Amino acid sequence: MKYIVILGDGMADYPVDFFDGKTILEVAKKPTIDYMCAHGELGMVKTVQDGMKPGSDVANLSVMGYDTRECYSGRSPLEAASIGVEMKDDDVTFRTNLVTLSDEENYEDKTMLDYSAGEITTEEANELINAVAEELNTDKIKFYAGISYRHLCVWNGGSTNVDMTPPHDISDKKIADHLPKGDGADVFLEMMKKSEKILKEHPVNKARAAAGKNPATSIWPWGEGTKPQLENFEKKFGVKGSVISAVDLIKGIAKCAGMNSIDVEGATGNCETNWDGKAQAALDAILDGSDFVYLHMEAPDEMGHQGAPEKKKFAVETIDAKVVKFLKDELEKRGIDYKMLIMPDHPTPISLKTHVSDPVPYVIYDSTKELDTGLSYTEENGKKTSLYIEKGYTLMNHFLDK
């Protein structure tokens, strides 16, 4: 038996005005998913535990079978794993953005103009972070370049007893009230001020400013975390797993859980992603000996954040046509028995443009044991069934027949 998870990030929704009060799952044409739902198990599952924020990190960890109250230790350590930084037990990681601040003389008087420094390219950002690292790295504190504006600071022996503000929460606000507080605050503030001097004269920034783009004028650390204690997925569940995703965070989870993280060329996480390539990579992983494949698709979530109903519908329809149907056809052609779990991690309602913690509908289809529920895959139909899994992380045991 092979096991495949089709994870449509943020796919579940609330009634959408644009579609006369219907949800995306209700209006999207998804004949293969609906077939599997009508001949499989439909239920609801709570993927975000009480007291946890409905981030994609927490929700995807739950779907993968991890109790996030036990294992979740922050977002930045997962990003560290994704960019290949090995953490020691007494390391504390901080997400470090490259940001654009306004140009008042005094650092404290500045305003947060852009948390992404104009979505700076990875190439440019690498040069800048390397320049910062050269000046600011110590025996204990080190900077690492990541992707675009998203970088990393690792403080060996650092503290998580800090109060740092996510820069995307203070757009166009004065930074004075949002500077680091708690253990090591003075060290951080000094590094931030020094980074400004290092970055100011850098040729990369001069070129950006000349081209009318936001320069990266400062580092901005936040999002502290410690090394995650994720039990190895294969040890935990007895199946060899692969993960396919365009998103750093999901790749980081895969690495921390000892799963194989497969990169697909042209996988972007939006509607123009390489859908065929991802579906083919999932099939190849199975043919190459993976027992379990976790295929994560970010596009519905992105379209939810953008509040774009037609594009979100397109994303769901494309998952059905290019991924689910492809895998079903290819596996059946080869006589391979499989179970497929289809679900979102959390809803990203069009009306809110952000994540919520509501339970989500899931489908489990077993190619060797077709049932007959006759229901299509929607939030309302999920609620009609009596199946409700309160502890989201137990769904994986159920799916894998453990």
Q: Segment contacting Zn ion (CB under 5 A): 260-268, 299-307, 320-328, 391-399?
A: 299-307
Classify strands 292-297 and 241-244 as parallel, antiparallel or unpaired: parallel
- Is the CB of 60 or the CB of 378 nearer to Zn ion? 60
Candidate ranges 99-107, 213-221, 298-306, 371-379; the one touching Zn ion (CB under 5 A): 298-306
Coil, strand or helix at 111: strand
CB of 131 to Zn ion, least distance (A): 31
Q: Which is nearer to Zn ion, 150 or 236 (CB)?
A: 150
Query: Shortest gap between Cβ of 354 and Zn ion (angstroms)?
Result: 8
What's the closest the beta carbon of residue 361 comes to Zn ion, in angstroms? 18
Query: C-beta of 168: minimal distance to Zn ion in Å?
Result: 12
Strands (E), 252-401: 260-262, 292-297, 338-343, 360-366, 388-389
Q: Which residues contact 94 (CB under 8 A, 6 or more apart)?
A: 76, 152, 153, 154, 155, 158, 164, 221, 222, 223, 224
**Nearer to Zn ion among residue 26 and residue 301 (C-beta):** 301
Residues 47, 258, 159: CA angle, nearest 5 degrees: 75
Q: Which is nearer to Zn ion, 301 or 320 (CB)?
A: 301
* Min CB(299)–Zn ion separation in Å: 11
Backbone angles phi, psi at 343, to 5 degrees: -170, 165
Q: Does 41 bind Zn ion (CB under 5 A)?
A: no
Asked whether the beta carbons of 315 and 300 are under 8 A apart, the reply is yes
Candidates 218-226, 245-253, 295-303, 332-340; binding stretch for Zn ion (CB under 5 A)? 295-303
Which region among 70-78, 178-186, 241-249, 301-309 touches Zn ion (by CB under 5 A)? 301-309
Q: How many residues bind Zn ion (CB under 5 A)?
A: 1
Do the beta carbons of residue 97 and residue 115 sit within 8 Å? yes
Task: Output 248 or 301, the one with its CB closest to Zn ion.
Answer: 301
x/- mask, Zn ion, residues 245-284, rule CB under 5 A, reads ----------------------------------------
Name the minimum Å distance from CB 320 to Zn ion: 21
Distance between CA atoms of 366 and 361, rounded to whole angstroms?
A: 17
When binding is defined by CB under 5 A, the residue of 79, 91, 301, 345 that contacts Zn ion is 301
Stretch that binds Zn ion, among 188-196, 257-265, 296-304, 333-341 (CB under 5 A): 296-304
State the residue number with the nearest CB to Zn ion.
301
Q: Virtual CA dihedral for 61, 63, 68, 72, nearest 10 degrees? A: 0
Scan for tokens 């930074």, then name that residue: 175
* Cβ-based neighbour number of residue 63 at 10 Å: 25
Min separation Cβ 355 and Zn ion, Å? 6
Q: What is the distance of C-alpha 163 from the center of its chain? A: 23
Distances (CA, A) of 114 to 156, 178, 389: 29, 15, 41
Residue ranges in contact with Zn ion by CB under 5 A = 301
